[in-house]
Amino acid sequence: MNPSSRRILVTGGAGFLGSHLCERLLRDGHDVLCLDNFFTGRRENILPFLSNPRFEPIRHDITMPIYVEVDRVYNLACPASPVHYQYNAIKTIKTNVMGAINTLGIAKRVRARILQASTSEVYGDPEVHPQDESYWGRVNPIGLRSCYDEGKRAAECLMMDYHRQNGVDVKIVRIFNTYGPRMALGDGRVISNFIVQALRGEDITVYGDGTQTRSFCYVDDMIEGLVGMMESPKGFTGPVNMGNPEEFSILGLAETVISMTGSPSGIVHKPLPPDDPAQRRPDIGLAETRLGWKPRVSLEEGLEKTIAYFRTALPGKKSRAGRRRRSS
């Protein structure tokens, strides 16, 4: 038996990030409780782990209390794409707020360490660039995105209040755009949207003129950062930015995906959604200094792996783009 083995709860464990985290923790020899209500999480993501005796799936909605005995809690439960978190805005903010309260209740009761998966959305449409952790953000509190943005800000507030008032050992990570295998086909995130449209030979939808920028971090790098933050010295609460500081325009990303898939897709422009930030790029100096963490996987390398995943995940598996590529 691994003497350093822990019993770890991962909320949202059947989701994109959560399933990769469960896989990493199992590989490290830990016992993993994977909690998910399967709203955006998918059983397919955790099927490979079901035969592992250290893995325990729990179907549960984290807006309701649950009582488990664990050493660590990763709170990842919440829809993370606009399509999903705007579908039921009230449910989204309840998941953020009640989910934080319920997981903090577990951590307080059993003296577990807890990591809150926060988001770059707490910065809103930023007035400073790049964004570091000292920036308080520019968020519309009554906009279409506020159920997610303000929900995550409230979750950070709860984490720090439980830390100050009750001595709970908390860690906060602000996650910037992350991508990779196991993203859902229709999750509405820009990289999955572009790849799916390209592989289907459909025109790629770019909102606005495409000059808005984002940074994209491959999932393996992000999981390394989350684990590193969880196991960082006690008292270092964060928040800590995690993402890739390289900046890419949305239009440039669309052109790259078309080129890498060999797709016949064109590009169509549609109006920019409300409160869509013009720039998003993390300052990761704190993560580099305190955790020795920075992303290693380039965008091209990560896109290759993600495109390969979607080629097999798409229904029928044979896309127009794939046929074109084979004949070229």
Between the CA atoms of 294, 288, 228 and 280, what dihedral angle is there, to the nearest 10 degrees? -60
112: number of Cβ within 10 Å: 22
State which amino acid sits at residue 209.
D
148 is an active site residue: yes
Residue 108: exposed, middle, or buried by beta-carbon count in 10 A (0-12, 13-18, 19+)? middle
Sign of CA dihedral 246, 209, 132, 96: negative
| Beta strands at 213-214 and 248-249: parallel, antiparallel or unpaired | antiparallel
Which position among 74, 85, 123, 148 bears the catalytic label? Answer: 148
Among candidate residues 327, 305, 279, the one with its CA nearest the CA of residue 125: 279
Burial of 250 (0-12, 13-18, 19+ CB in 10 A): buried
The answer to whether the beta carbons of residues 2 and 168 sit under 8 Å apart is: no
122 close to 137: Cβ distance less than 8 angstroms: yes
Are 176 and 213 in contact by the 8 Å Cβ rule? The answer is: no
CB atoms within 10 A of CB 303: 24
Among 52, 72, 55, smallest CA distance to 4 is for 72
Q: What is the DSSP letter of 71?
A: S
Distances (CA, A) of 212 to 207, 259, 268, 323: 9, 20, 15, 32
Give me the active site residues, please: 148
